[in-house]
Structure 1
């Protein structure tokens, strides 16, 4: 069995990292797995990407070109808009044919990498791992409070169009026409995203399986806290609140505003003296952001062992997102024995068990987010129980071996029994 993963990138971004981990996990199982990407950052010989300078330059330009039609909607801010149209031509079909896979696994394929209509040109059965909501919307990656993806989109609040026949409806219509006869099985990393896919007008009759993202638990594991802090030059005598800030200040979905309010509430409640904040995924900003605590900015980390060191150094990890397809930073933190505080929302509900390995705050209460942080930190014996359960949760449900095994069985079933379109999973 030969599997080919299609992804805009191999290790750049959370969805790409999840795809690459699965690719490696399948190889460890003995499955012949390859990746075809638009941008390659690894030195993995089983990952294929455009080699010519022209193709590389075009790949850089495509995300900008893909957004050009949005300029007809002056009410929307293109620089902050998370919306993909995928109308540009691509050369994927002949490249896929050259690699002769038995089955295709799509991942995050936006940014001009894969044109919507190209899926109908691919002859192999397709498994599509959804890393956000884009596949079943009129172009947005997360719906926020809009439910128009359950009908046919249009009148898009992101576009501020006020028109049922706007660009979002055009994208939806293209998907509905191009994908109606393809051999497609969907996989989501969380039950929340599966429910959304099942309620969508595009995928309501498709098979949807839930397979959580996996981790290499030999790399993501608890490390000695004192040593981790010494190596990262962090204080030994403080409780440390950790936050991953990649894209947080520019994306309201990441919940940075609620985090700021929660931390200020905590600082006014007597926690300031013995608690610091640690931020990774961001360098210290030129214009200082007041978080109410002394803040340590660690910058960017690009390898798993360094990230495991960061998680192990902290006492609690905060993931204040309002919507997450899964919540990879949350599972990584739990793997390292660090409890997680989040909102009781979306994909994070599959990862964080309330008052067992962390705390799920009321949606979207900054005050209860602060309560959750305090609850995790204020009792040392309770923290030890939370930490042990955090690691257990990952070992039971989120190992890379388990994820890879589930995917390999799904591939084998699809190849052996053929298309089961319309049969829904019990997940």
Structure 2
């Protein structure tokens, strides 16, 4: 059985990293797995991407911009990701030449695959929900909008008051395309599975919950003094870690919620002067204001070695996202024995056991985030127990080998139909 993973990127962003980890783990289980991407940034010979310089340039710079060009007519559009996926591509020809038995879709936007291409693949499709785009009229993070349960239109993210706007057109294209394809949806979290089941596009589609995984044999704790020495971080401070892809620019990741959370933590934590914030995934923003504690911006980290050391160096990881699916940051941090504080929403609820291996704060109260930080940092014995539980739960629940085996069983089931 030959499996082909389709992902816009192989290494850039959390969704790509999750897809690539699954692909590599399937290979380790002895499966025949390949990956086809629009923008290949790694050197793995089992990952295929554009060959010519022009095609590489097209995939990295032109397609993403052309795909979103029609959004320019919506002057009141919010600064949130939104994709149309209407550009013609050569993807079907390439897929057929690779001749897979199963095609596994991951994050496929930025002009990689046209919506109308799905039935033309002519293979059983597995589609992992890395966000909500597969069942909406174009947005990736619906926030407080539930129009995807109907037919979209009047899209708040477009700033539209037109029932027949771009989101309705995208929704209708998806509806038509999905009817001609055999799709099984995989959600890494129960929350996103419930959202997909309520959507009008996937209401009759088989939806399975299979958690993303990480290599828990790689992401292991390193002694804090050693990790801090390697990263040139202070040995005698309480380090709060915050990070994501585009950490300070992506509104959903909650960077703007950190100052009030820190302020409340300082009112509860007696050693506030020894607290420092570490930010990765972004450089210091131009609009930077004082966050209430000394702050270091490490920029983007591109390798698992640096991430493993950084998670181990931190005392607690703060994940203040408004919406979050299956967070790589939470799983990686816990596997390194560093507890997390996040809102009690969606994916984090599946990963964090409140006041056992981390802290779940009432959405979306920054004072609760601050309370969680203080709760974790203020008692050494409790902290040690929490950190040990984070690691043991990660070993039990986040092992990529278990995730890969579950996917392999699903592929086998689908090829027998």
Q: Give the TM-score band, short-chain normalised.
A: over 0.9
| Structure 1 residue 264, shift from structure 2 partner | 2.2
Equivalent position SS for 1:7: strand
The answer to whether the 8 Å contact 2:13/2:245 transfers is: no
5+ unaligned residues in a row in structure 1: which ranges?
A: 419-427
Aligned twin of 1:388: 388
| Structure 1 residue 261, shift from structure 2 partner | 1.0
Aligned twin of 1:325: 325
Per-residue CA distance 1:95-136 (angstroms, 9 max, x = gap): 001111110000000000000000010011000011000000
Output the TM-score relative to the length of structure 2.
Answer: 0.97
Equivalence map 1:254-403=2 (5 Å): 254-269=253-268, 270-286=270-286, 288-403=288-403
Aligned residues: 415
Equivalence map 1:125-144=2 (5 Å): 125-144=124-143
The answer to whether the 8 Å contact 1:267/1:293 transfers is: no
For residues 351 and 178 of structure 1, the distance between their equivalents in structure 2, rounded to whole angstroms, comes to: 34
5+ unaligned residues in a row in structure 2: which ranges?
A: none
| Structure 1 residue 278, shift from structure 2 partner | 1.2
Aligned twin of 1:234: 233
The answer to whether the 8 Å contact 1:272/1:292 transfers is: no
For residues 55 and 75 of structure 1, the distance between their equivalents in structure 2, rounded to whole angstroms, comes to: 33
| Structure 1 residue 287, shift from structure 2 partner | 5.2
Which stretch has the larger CA shift, 300-309 or 244-253? 244-253
Equivalent position SS for 1:158: coil
| Structure 1 residue 268, shift from structure 2 partner | 4.7
For residues 56 and 242 of structure 1, the distance between their equivalents in structure 2, rounded to whole angstroms, comes to: 35
Aligned twin of 2:34: 34
Output the TM-score relative to the length of structure 1.
Answer: 0.95
| Structure 1 residue 75, shift from structure 2 partner | 1.9
For residues 312 and 411 of structure 2, the distance between their equivalents in structure 1, rounded to whole angstroms, comes to: 36
Aligned twin of 1:423: none
Equivalent position SS for 1:299: coil
| Structure 1 residue 265, shift from structure 2 partner | 2.4
Aligned twin of 1:83: 82
Give yes or no for the alignment of 1:3 onto 2:3: yes
For residues 303 and 6 of structure 2, the distance between their equivalents in structure 1, rounded to whole angstroms, comes to: 22
Which stretch has the larger CA shift, 242-251 or 41-50? 242-251
The answer to whether the 8 Å contact 2:264/2:371 transfers is: no
Which stretch has the larger CA shift, 207-216 or 288-297? 288-297
For residues 246 and 38 of structure 1, the distance between their equivalents in structure 2, rounded to whole angstroms, comes to: 19
For residues 382 and 199 of structure 1, the distance between their equivalents in structure 2, rounded to whole angstroms, comes to: 40
Per-residue CA distance 1:358-379 (angstroms, 9 max, x = gap): 0000010000100000000111
| Structure 1 residue 286, shift from structure 2 partner | 5.0
Per-residue CA distance 1:260-288 (angstroms, 9 max, x = gap): 21012223554431211111112334554
Aligned twin of 1:424: none
Per-residue CA distance 1:184-224 (angstroms, 9 max, x = gap): 10001100000000000000111111111111112101011
Equivalent position SS for 2:273: coil
Equivalence map 1:120-269=2 (5 Å): 120-269=119-268
The answer to whether the 8 Å contact 2:248/2:285 transfers is: no
The answer to whether the 8 Å contact 2:247/2:281 transfers is: no
For residues 111 and 118 of structure 2, the distance between their equivalents in structure 1, rounded to whole angstroms, comes to: 14
The answer to whether the 8 Å contact 2:14/2:245 transfers is: no
Aligned twin of 2:99: 100
For residues 283 and 308 of structure 1, the distance between their equivalents in structure 2, rounded to whole angstroms, comes to: 19
| Structure 1 residue 181, shift from structure 2 partner | 2.7
For residues 228 and 292 of structure 2, the distance between their equivalents in structure 1, rounded to whole angstroms, comes to: 21
The answer to whether the 8 Å contact 2:326/2:347 transfers is: yes
Give yes or no for the alignment of 1:50 onto 2:50: yes
Which stretch has the larger CA shift, 54-63 or 115-124? 54-63
| Structure 1 residue 55, shift from structure 2 partner | 1.4
| Structure 1 residue 225, shift from structure 2 partner | 0.7
The answer to whether the 8 Å contact 1:194/1:208 transfers is: yes
For residues 384 and 72 of structure 2, the distance between their equivalents in structure 1, rounded to whole angstroms, comes to: 53
